[in-house]
Amino acid sequence: MQGMYEVRYGIVNLLRVANSFAATPRIMVALGRLLRDPGVALDDVAALLRQDSTLSARLLRIANSAAFAPGEPVASIQDAAALIGLKDVHRLVGAVAVDQFSLRDYPLYGFTGPELRGNSLLVALLMEELAASTREDPAAAYSAGLFRSVGKLALAKLADESVPVAPFQPADTFAPLESWEKHTFGVTSNGATAAILKEWHFPSEVTAAIADHFYPAAHHHPLAGLLNLSGRLADEMGHGLLGESRYWLPAAESARVTGLDPAIAQRAGERALIAFERVNRAMG
């Protein structure tokens, strides 16, 4: 039986399913690389965005929305990127990617598409703000927060293809989330996410952070500690995902692992919530 699970939920099938997802996350990887260059040309950014017609159309609608209120209608993706600004383009490309994942619910994991979207976006914005208080790359931090649940989505899709799988039951104290995943799939969703993002050529610091963020004290990876902290803050703000709260470090231990004073984390959380509301308005 275990051998069958190893095939069904093995790396080949995980990557097959993941590569059937919309291309937006892969566009975001390339965009992140471009934006690391302080002299990046707007033409290069626009050329990359035009590779995904659905993404380009969505960004044009956003640029012409009340959130940005242009004086004249914006007709080109280059003008849209100029109006929105490169930092917000990176944020909104990520938000569009998460929107694409939120078009369905995930009963196997006990959350809806909108709940996934809210958690992914808020954790990403928390990561971006917390990274600004450290020496970590905000774009890498944002990506880690945004896509940390991709493994769950791939495992759920694989489960849909075959024999029905019993959903995760958080009330079962003898089978916490990771134990249930290992028993059901032979792999954790964090491990699956790391493998998928590696295939998509995300930076190694992003994949390592996601792989380790449930146990950051056992690893010495700064982004993993920030991701654990962001998960707890999102949970406290009402945007947690089922079964994950047991993995979030208490405030005092989180401060020790991340080196961030709780007051700094709280202020970062307040700024992230403002950004969360702004991105939601822009997305419509």
Amino acid 262: pLDDT:
94
pLDDT in tens, 161-198: 877 888 998 876 667 999 999 989 999 999 999 999 99
Mean pLDDT of 116-134: 95
Torsional sign, CA 251, 139, 190, 274: positive
Q: Which domains does the chain have, with CATH numbers?
A: 2-283 (1.10.3210.10)
Greatest alpha-carbon pair distance for the chain in Å reads 63
Torsional sign, CA 45, 124, 217, 242: negative
Mean pLDDT of 132-160: 92
Ranges 3-7, 12-16, 85-89, most confident: 12-16
Q: Is pLDDT above 50 for 3?
A: no
Query: How crowded is residue 218: how many other Cβ atoms within 10 Å of its Cβ?
Result: 10
Question: What tokens does 159 get?
Answer: 């489960």
Instruction: Give which of 241, 160, 193 is closest to 18, Cα–Cα.
Output: 193
Mean pLDDT of 139-164: 91
Question: Whole-angstrom Cα distance, residue 113 to residue 126?
Answer: 20
pLDDT in tens, 49-82: 988 888 888 888 888 888 887 778 888 999 988 8
Of 57-61, 104-108, 193-197, 211-215, the poorest mean pLDDT is in 57-61
Task: Report residue 68: phi and psi, to 5°.
Answer: -115, -20
